[in-house]
Structure 1
């Protein structure tokens, strides 16, 4: 017969920290996303900042119609991230969907689950980043089709940028977009950047563009802003982290204006 183990309940509990980590960044990403989580682990996560992820349904092809279908899932996705606990920032990580759904609509959907949380999207972060760099005339590179790229052009034009050139690659599947080699993006950036442009915006959270930012900047002699780099920068600054990270491009050395 086994002798019962005498388990002692300690009379007092140890003191608790206010939070396991000081700052919290939420990420709402597509079910098919291969890139945002690794990028945020590299650029945002630390002993001070935790990154917490929820995935929402998405089905290719990447068309404006399919992108809009994610809107009803945004509130539920946000609610899954540390339920009933506050966040310091939350990012919806899809550039093309953010443009077609709309900034105000995304913010309202996310804040329905997380009231008051600052909401970051790639296009809004891209706008902030380009303005922080002093860019007025830009070139844009996307992996999308022409149909999906048109709303992107309209968005940046509406935010006051002159678009010197716009290049798209014609992909319809975000999983294929994620397979474009970072080294290829350097060549594509060189090809896509107009001589009149102050900076290049590389759109799409599926692209592994954050790994190629420095190479792209060296190739074109101008600042480069990418979707995941811009949202990471925005989230870091909202968490009070102003440490320069030049290995991820010029933007990562600047404050959030």
Structure 2
């Protein structure tokens, strides 16, 4: 066998950038999630912004009881995302669980591992998005059962929205929710939106709603806010990215708090 060359240690280390990528967004998703990761890849990730993902245990069916069971895993999930390094934002990507656990409780659990990081949840981002669009009278569409939808209605009503209509589809498995075609969401949006509503909120990070926003807005003639679109928008703005992305709906053309 031919002799191997001597391994030479270079005498000078190359200079290091402050970060491999300028901005960092953490994303905590369900073990069963098919949609959040691709959505954040297409709407958030770029040469300037990295998206770093951790999955937490979750078992269907999607009931308030099962959703609450995720809370103890949130601190450990957050700790696994670039340990001991700061993030610019971190999103817990489950709308229904955020509602039943509570935004404040989720923020506390995540900040136990990532002190001071801005925490985003889908309903929180949805509220911010609807307010940025000056929407007060809304319709809501969810894929959940009636039992899981009730806390969602309470959440938005408690934040001052007038809910003119609320439609749910009765699904119990988030993996099936992810299989609803974007074109079907356009038809459902048309049926679910009250004629007097300012906007439609489409709940659930499992839905491929971000791919259907343009079609839904064209179909109903008013803004549409979806879970993943709203969290992507919120995280982009927290990273200082004000780029407009009208292909993902009117919300993606606005500033945070506008």
Residue 255 of structure 1 aligns to a residue whose secondary structure is coil
Partner of 2:114: 114
Q: What is the count of residue pairs matched by the alignment? A: 257
Distance 1:4 1:76 in 2: 45
What's the TM-score, normalizing by structure 2? 0.99
Partner of 2:87: 87
- 1:194-224 deviations in whole A, cap 9, x for unaligned? 0111000000000000000000000000000
Partner of 1:174: 174
Unaligned 5+ segments in structure 2 are: none
4+ residue runs over 2 A deviation:
1-4
What's the TM-score, normalizing by structure 1? 0.99
Unaligned 5+ segments in structure 1 are: none
- 1:34-90 deviations in whole A, cap 9, x for unaligned? 000000010000000000000000000000000000000000000000001000000
Partner of 1:154: 154
Correspondence 1:131-210 to 2 at 5 A: 131-210=131-210
Partner of 1:28: 28
Q: What is the CA RMSD across the aligned residues, in angstroms?
A: 0.6
- 1:214-253 deviations in whole A, cap 9, x for unaligned? 0000000000000000000000000000000000000000
Distance 2:193 2:3 in 1: 76
Q: State the 1:3 CA deviation.
A: 2.3
Distance 1:4 1:64 in 2: 62
Partner of 1:226: 226
Distance 1:4 1:215 in 2: 62
